[in-house]
Structure 1
């Protein structure tokens, strides 16, 4: 039982709500403290205050970790909404990067993370007083990731749909066939389909959009190896006769030691190999000055560091 004592709802502040959500999302007091940059005792003290107001234990021990109660899960959307309201209340109509201390969570896969985010970090860090970035796996992007405030920005080739979800295209890439330089690339559709392939299947069983398009068209390949991310592909491709159909921009970094060629499918298959990349956010951030500025920095970073490389790589695959 949790008695009222002299603590009531007025004792709930933004810090307590942030502690609560961090523990809920991390599933650990230790991880939540590390994420927020506070001590474990501070997290425990904040949770104890909230328990006295809410009249619920909020979390219970389960094995070596903790699990949230049903009431805690029910309170999470309200807590996020309150924090959003506090943020809006405390942010003025203007935004000054020079005095700003920004923290943002972006959902992206390993390809998007390594391609787009280092440049963003360099650009933003040089312009603001303090900047911190948390990257989480995007897996199968859903509107809930943005609605529930699990991330501030989502990067994906297939934006989730919702009347409250906003998107903008960052760049246009395409899929190519990577292979070990010691072997000959497939010159025909028949050779490509007869070869053995390595591909990416995420941990939630989500496939690459290219693989989904092939399947929808009834095109069947021999998938010899499936790995959970792009980073795992080179180890299997090196010294083998396997093929990997992946974004061409990987040739700049992860796949730079491998040769690449166009994927030899039927004429007019450009739509099948096309790979747009979007940034996606929730409508509540549409006019937020800090969020708008960060989106502009990402666009500028992509324009400076990536789009020129896309054009050069496309020219290379045509030659």
Structure 2
């Protein structure tokens, strides 16, 4: 028997062989695989050349397989089944699957969606593990590609170019005050606003400039920034012992029992658009799709 180079074999020929073997008729085989009879006849000729055997012999009752066809038919059927499974999407059952999901985001996201996301994943998938990581300073695309990170959540302005992204929700800013002489709902003038002390959240704790300062610069003003901390919990705790103003996202203000006044300012405030990003290779992965849909469901709750 001569050797066959697999690279030279059209796997569609095996589909035709399987149909011919099961139907014992070129006409019925052609109908089974939605091809014309001349096309299947041509494929049978190529099958005979490939296997160096007649494979099927015409009779008055249709075609009859040769011993060679009988020998390879079960293996061809098994091979086609395996290929079908290979090409079919994997089923993903979170309730029975063991996996680890690694998601990263800022301190803000820890308090607004990542905590609920982790709880939801662990409740629905009891064999799962959730790792919540801080946003890396660099190399995000590489870590997503290598699987070190599955998802990254961020403001749209901080997303990595060319990565798929899914919008989750929008959040606005509110100004909180721990000054005793500023009541809840007070309108505060720009002069008064700028002379008071301000606190600010920056993940590095080293910056005293943010989106609010950009809005102030647009009108030629600057606020009296005295405190920069890496997290909102720390900021709100320090505001209890020292009078300050601070802009925080609305969801942060709702997440903490702070008791501070909400102040109206004359500023045109920016807003946040939170998105989830991932590597393109994971777009069609069933587990990853489930994780993204879980995020969207929580964001819209």
Q: Same fold (TM over 0.5)?
A: yes
1:214 aligns with 2:226: no
C-alpha distance 126-201 of structure 1, shift in aligned 2 (>3 A): closer
- Deviation of the 1:103 alpha carbon: 1.0
Structure 1: give runs of 5+ residues left out of the alignment: 1-88, 305-319
Counterpart selection for 2:115 from 100, 115, 118:
118
Gaps of 5+ in 2: 1-85
1:244 paired residue number: 246
How big is the shift at 1:199?
Answer: 0.4
TM superposition outliers: structure 1 runs of 4+ over 4 Å: 139-142, 204-209
Residues 208 and 292 (structure 1 numbering): CA distance in 2 closer, same or farther, change over 3 Å? farther
Equivalent pairs counted in the alignment come to 210
Provide the residue aligned with 2:170 in structure 1: 172
In 1, Cα distance between equivalents of 2:102 and 2:89: 22
Mapped to 1, the partners of 2:143 and 2:202 lie a distance apart of 20
Does the Cα contact within 8 Å between 1:199 and 1:223 map onto a contact in 2?
yes
Where does residue 106 of structure 1 map in the other structure? Answer: 103
User: What residue is the counterpart of 2:193 in the other structure?
Assistant: 192
Question: For the structure 1 residues 206 and 130, does the alpha-carbon distance in structure 2 shift closer, same or farther, using more than 3 Å as the test?
Answer: farther
Q: Which moved more, 1:150-159 or 1:198-207?
A: 198-207
Tell me the TM-score normalized by structure 2: 0.61
After TM superposition, give the deviation of residue 196 of structure 1 in Å.
1.1
Q: Is residue 290 of structure 2 the alignment partner of residue 293 of structure 1?
A: yes
Partner of 2:160: 161
- Taking the aligned partners of 2:246 and 2:287, their CA distance within structure 1 comes to 39
SS in 1 for 2:167: strand
What is the CA-CA distance between 1:147 and the residue it aligns to? 3.5
- Alpha-carbon distance in structure 1 between the residues aligned to 2:241 and 2:130: 37
Partner of 2:275: 278
Contact 1:107 1:154 in 2 (8 A): yes
CA shift for structure 1 position 260: 1.7
Root mean square deviation of aligned Cα: 2.8
Q: Which has the larger radius of gyration?
A: 2
Q: 2:255: which partner in 1?
A: 253
1:72-151 equivalences in 2 (<5 Å): 93-138=90-135, 142-151=140-149
Q: Aligned-pair distance for 1:296?
A: 0.2
* Other structure's SS at 1:97 match: coil
Following superposition, the deviation at residue 200 of structure 1 comes to 1.4
Does the Cα contact within 8 Å between 2:179 and 2:243 map onto a contact in 1? Answer: no
Structure 1 pair 215–147 and aligned structure 2 pair: CA distance change class (3 A)? farther
- The equivalent position to 1:233 in structure 2, one of 232, 235, 240, is 235
Check whether the contact 1:200–1:230 (CA below 8 A) recurs between aligned residues. Answer: yes
